[in-house]
């Protein structure tokens, strides 16, 4: 017969924080994080609201033995990703045609340039 030492009682997990406590303690951090992740200034409050709605819905999935901010960061990252996708954020390259027209001189400048060229050509012809 093998005698074993009694097993220690399981470690008590820390109490689960409530949404109000998380909101009060972490709102400013979430707001700054959303800005760093690419949220537009005018949308940051809405994005922060969306983050805390997800926190409220998913709080039962949070393990209070783990740090809170990495969990919040994951939520914020997904919220901003969805926001950017909905807002149509895309990296776009301008074609050469678009780039050329973007820098084309205005009509008045083009007319003035044509007139200057005509004057120069007339002056050169007069030299012959």
Domain spans of the chain?
A: 19-87, 96-127
pLDDT of residue 8: 65
Quick check: 37 pLDDT over 90? yes
pLDDT of residue 119: 85
CATH 1.10.150 given to domain 19-87: no
**C-alpha to C-alpha distance for 79 and 38, rounded to whole angstroms:** 11
* Most confidently predicted of 1-10, 11-20, 91-100: 11-20
Q: Region 29-42: what's the mean pLDDT?
A: 95
Quick check: 13 pLDDT over 70? no
Question: What mean pLDDT value characterizes the chain?
Answer: 84
Is the Cβ–Cβ distance between 79 and 47 less than 8 Å? yes
Q: How many other CB atoms sit within 10 Å of the CB of residue 102?
A: 8
User: Tell me: the pLDDT tens digits for 104-113?
Assistant: 667 888 888 8
Q: Determine which of 9-13, 19-23, 33-37, 116-120 has the lowest per-residue pLDDT on average.
A: 9-13
User: Tell me: the pLDDT tens digits for 45-104?
Assistant: 999 999 999 999 999 999 999 999 999 999 999 999 999 888 875 555 556 665 555 556
Please give the model's pTM, rounded to 2 decimal places. Answer: 0.59
**C-alpha to C-alpha distance for 124 and 82, rounded to whole angstroms:** 64
């Amino acid at each position: 017969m093998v005698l074993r030492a009694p097993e220690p009682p399981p470690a008590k997990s820390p109490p689960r924080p409530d949404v109000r406590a998380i909101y009060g303690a972490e709102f400013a951090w979430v707001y700054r994080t959303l800005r760093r992740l690419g949220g537009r200034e005018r949308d940051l409050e809405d994005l922060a609201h969306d983050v805390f709605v997800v926190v409220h819905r998913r709080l039962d999935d949070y393990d209070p033995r783990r740090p809170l901010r990495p969990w919040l960061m994951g939520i914020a990252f997904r919220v901003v990703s969805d926001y950017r996708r909905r807002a149509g954020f895309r990296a776009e390259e301008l074609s050469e045609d678009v780039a050329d027209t973007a820098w084309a001189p205005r009509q008045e400048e083009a007319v003035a340039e044509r007139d200057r060229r005509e004057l120069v050509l007339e002056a050169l012809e007069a030299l012959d």
